[in-house]
Structure 1
């Protein structure tokens, strides 16, 4: 009997975790905290306690929070519980477990940087949740992006033995029961530790980490789809020139996103009948000719987002920041992540352009398919294009900036980035763009179904897999999900 594959364990050290580490943890990799990280957290804790013992005004430790930041804390144990419970104000559907795990991993990595002033036991409690695969029930509505306070509070509730968790079956179990089943005990929070569990944009950052590979994959899917659509259109009308994808066109921007997209499309179409076509249109629609430029813009926005994530992972995103080197506690705005949020906003706008150009190609293919539909050989519902139109409407709305919405929550909380909203809507936009590309691919497959033409070395397997999908049939939902799976290569 073959042994199960080894899962790479992730050690959290004093250096920032990389995005790949967070992806591994989100997918289930075990986690441990290194000795150096433990030592740094212990020193950070000592610095925090020195400030408390001096009687310094320390936000969340000797002083209360928000508009009450000038008021002294009376009794620490009660105050810590009050902070967690008071911030547990999120409502809505549960956040996807992958994102919850990524968010918890982000917080562990941040604590290890030594800016929080908490005991190592706090990080251990979070690691315990990850390694026991305890997934807190985190409602998805409740953050303005200036620390994902209410969402983080749902995690903190489990740490202290309250709140609710999710099972694999989607049921909820109390935090106390989940801890007991895993052999874990609730943590009694001490000075400043409640705030430290709450005060960074862990969900925004964890969600952004998970968005990057999805955006990158969608760019490759878009290249595959346009190659199929070129063949589908060429099989039913005079073929367009492949010049818009040639190396000649992109020599001036070698290495750019557009150049890489054109290279992929050319490779997919190697040996395609399009190369030998003699009856060519002078100009194909812009939605065909400009595909590399549009897809390349998305690829470059994905790179920008990845850079913003890398930068965010380096930041000691604490307020107040406990600085070990200067042995001081400093108020700041590191919990805001405008660069990351703008990266998410830009990615959504690029996704809308990819979806829009795909929708235009679908319209071209749908018009070419009228005889096929009339003969009853389409294999897809005729109104699938209408569904695409609605998804494009969704994508257009999702592309609108969310970070400019104004909010004043108290006299000291008068600005917000809306980071979590930006992250959540980015995943929604990826879903919508994926549907649009799948719908386009189904239209292309319908036109290629009975076409006596030779596909390229890269498009032939896609064409065959989509033909099998059409042959099996099913609901429109089955077809779109199946096409998305084929295009992703899963």
Structure 2
């Protein structure tokens, strides 16, 4: 059980909720803050104070006073009017993560939500109800208004949701799960939709997949080094001690660990004096990507434990502050950085693929073909990798440098953080396919060299690859092989510790 209090959620717990369907609940100690915060809102409505989003309209309508008797109507109108996202629905895992993160933000106790609405939000998550949320339409400031509005609709018995594999009206999904919709009180609609949970949910999943991808890249690169009779001197500790980036040293150590016991690797001068950069500079490039991942992890961990709505309620002082914590700039930058880093994993991988298949760059059969000339072998897999890498370059253009004013120029600078997160997620998906192509080519080349000559760790990796993709003995469509291996790499446990055991 994941216990939410708004301040202690970890990325590992988020992963448990996504991949293991671990259920969540609000920690007992959090309810006092939640209820006290709500009491402040009730007092404001009763006294008729002018507070943004409670007794006023939204955005440019912030100076329009709403009478107390219309406070509830204001919130349902907010949800309905802001639910105008378009495009393909977000994946269910992303929506589950949004539910978890929104519940955690509300559990922090600064949003003025009622206990009943927050409990229903958690119940929806635990019941497996997945609100249908179109993926496009957020500017990433004033929160992820459009996507979070679609998330909120089923809570009031509207919108659509997936439940037990069936697409249903929101009210029917609740009914089948034994739940009842709520009537939103003052401030609650705003509390549900004003936040960064769409961009952050997409970002967390992209980060978790990128973290795994980076480790796999080290292992697959080691197999490629053997297939190309690579030089191991460059991974020696002394070389990396004098440029003391911890991540660079870590990657070099991993590569050496994977190659321990190999009879295929070489030393300087044995075959050639130097390898190409795509082999020689793996620690420098992969290590720099690890630095990116460290930065992104830090920002995500802060964001998933932040209060990001507006206004914020401070029960100790009774103050309600209308600020800007909904602005997604920190996550926008982090997602752009993540996309750039992961794109480089794929970029250097594609260059290793080229060295594996190009007969002018190795002494292997041309394009690793079983019968060069009559059969094209792995020739076109490099084309696919090159196409994906080129697409990544376009996707890596930073979304965070853009801004379009909205709400009659009241909201005149936005982050585009959700676009940045979606682009980063697409880059991660593309990069898994590029790494899968490298793995397939490296496996083919290693078997041509002699699998018995591989290091024990890379021989185990070869076995994992061969459990999904058989050797190429005659030309066939490789499309399914690439897709299946990319999927297995995302989901299987191919840890370095396991491979080196």
What interval of TM-score do these two structures reach, taking the shorter chain for normalisation?
over 0.9
Provide the residue aligned with 1:470 in structure 2: 470
Secondary structure at 2:358 match in 1: helix
Pairs within 5 Å for 1:255-334: 256-275=246-265, 279-334=270-325
Contact residue 115 and residue 322 of structure 1 kept, 8 A: yes
> Quick one: distance in 2 between partners of 1:465 and 1:24?
24
Pairs within 5 Å for 1:74-93: 74=67, 75-93=70-88
Deviations 1:432-461 (A, max 9, x none): 111111111212122222323600121111
> Quick one: distance in 1 between partners of 2:430 and 2:137?
23
1:13 aligns with one of 5, 14, 36: 5
TM-score computed with the length of structure 1 as normaliser: 0.92
Closer/same/farther in 2, CA of residues 21 and 142 from structure 1, 3 Å limit: same
Provide the residue aligned with 1:3 in structure 2: none
Pairs within 5 Å for 1:117-136: 117-136=112-131
Provide the residue aligned with 1:112 in structure 2: 107
Alignment of 1:251 onto 2:241: yes
2:382 aligns with one of 378, 385, 407: 385
Q: Shift of residue 245 of structure 1?
A: 1.1
Alignment of 1:228 onto 2:223: yes
> Quick one: distance in 1 between partners of 2:301 and 2:170?
32
Secondary structure at 2:448 match in 1: coil
Provide the residue aligned with 2:30 in structure 1: 37
5+ residue gaps, structure 2, are 360-364, 494-501
Alignment of 1:59 onto 2:52: yes
Contact residue 372 and residue 378 of structure 1 kept, 8 A: no
Closer/same/farther in 2, CA of residues 119 and 387 from structure 1, 3 Å limit: same
> Quick one: distance in 2 between partners of 1:329 and 1:123?
20
Q: Shift of residue 248 of structure 1?
A: 1.6
Closer/same/farther in 2, CA of residues 150 and 279 from structure 1, 3 Å limit: same
Alignment of 1:397 onto 2:394: yes
Provide the residue aligned with 2:352 in structure 1: 361
TM-score computed with the length of structure 2 as normaliser: 0.90
Closer/same/farther in 2, CA of residues 487 and 247 from structure 1, 3 Å limit: farther
Secondary structure at 2:201 match in 1: helix
> Quick one: distance in 2 between partners of 1:451 and 1:378?
20
Secondary structure at 1:314 match in 2: coil
Contact residue 51 and residue 329 of structure 1 kept, 8 A: no
Question: After alignment, is 472-481 or 107-116 more displaced?
Answer: 472-481
Deviations 1:51-105 (A, max 9, x none): 3333322111100001111111241232222111000101111111111111111
Deviations 1:28-53 (A, max 9, x none): 21222233212111100111222333
> Quick one: distance in 1 between partners of 2:437 and 2:132?
34
> Quick one: distance in 2 between partners of 1:137 and 1:370?
49
Provide the residue aligned with 2:331 in structure 1: 340
> Quick one: distance in 2 between partners of 1:379 and 1:486?
26
Contact residue 64 and residue 71 of structure 1 kept, 8 A: yes
> Quick one: distance in 2 between partners of 1:202 and 1:345?
17
> Quick one: distance in 1 between partners of 2:86 and 2:187?
25
5+ residue gaps, structure 1, are 1-8, 235-239
Q: Shift of residue 346 of structure 1?
A: 1.0
Contact residue 462 and residue 487 of structure 1 kept, 8 A: no
> Quick one: distance in 2 between partners of 1:106 and 1:14?
9
Contact residue 2 and residue 22 of structure 2 kept, 8 A: yes
Aligned length: 476
Q: Shift of residue 190 of structure 1?
A: 0.9
Alignment of 1:156 onto 2:146: no
Secondary structure at 2:462 match in 1: helix
> Quick one: distance in 1 between partners of 2:219 and 2:447?
17
Q: Shift of residue 405 of structure 1?
A: 1.2
> Quick one: distance in 1 between partners of 2:51 and 2:367?
74
Backbone CA RMSD of aligned residues = 2.1
